[in-house]
Amino acid sequence: MSVEIRVLDAGDENAVLAARALFDHEPDIDATRRFLAEPTHHLLVAYDPAGSPVGFVSGVEMTHPDKGTEMFLYELGVDEPARRRGIGRSLVEALAALAEERGCYDMWTATDTDNVAARATYARAGAQTNPPQLMLEWDFGGAALQRSG
């Protein structure tokens, strides 16, 4: 499936809301504005030929004094009926190209070892698996976004 990939920017909140079905939860308008306003936060959305959003990838640039800047692939989502058509790979490749354009020295992500689809998508987009890593997490006792109603 051919898609058009758009890099969203500050002011594109309505585009995020139009793609709400692609996200795990309803996008919060304040969090959306904050994300899009940050020049080191990136949200790319894939649109089918009819102009409907069919996938997205988000990335965050992270800079460290002794390492430089790298891109963290935060999340990838493709609409169920549009899967297995190269959209995920195209989104990952577009984020990787953006990372290179912005001077990042690499791009990385994490996924569950049993997420076969994600691992295949990342591999087709050129990612390499490093030796097993251990992810440690601090849980501060709440959902990512607390919503009333």
- What average pLDDT does the structure give for the chain? 91
Residue range(s) defining the domain that contains residue 45: 4-124
Q: Judge whether 69 lies within some domain.
A: yes
How many whole angstroms separate alpha carbon 62 and alpha carbon 24? 23
How many whole angstroms separate alpha carbon 55 and alpha carbon 69? 26
Decide: 19 and 36 in contact? Cβ < 8 Å: no
pLDDT tens for each residue of 71-118: 999 999 999 999 989 999 999 999 999 999 999 999 999 888 888 888
pLDDT at position 148 is 43
Q: Judge whether 59 lies within some domain.
A: yes
Specify the pTM. Answer: 0.86
Q: What is the torsional sign of CA 44, 108, 112, 121? A: positive
Q: Judge whether 15 lies within some domain.
A: yes
Q: Is 70 exceeded by the pLDDT of residue 10? A: yes
pLDDT at position 145 is 57
Q: Judge whether 131 lies within some domain.
A: no
Tally of domains in the chain: 1
CATH no. for residue 81?
3.40.630.30
- Tell me the mean pLDDT in the region 50-58: 97
Q: Judge whether 132 lies within some domain.
A: no
Decide: 35 and 47 in contact? Cβ < 8 Å: no
Decide: 57 and 94 in contact? Cβ < 8 Å: yes
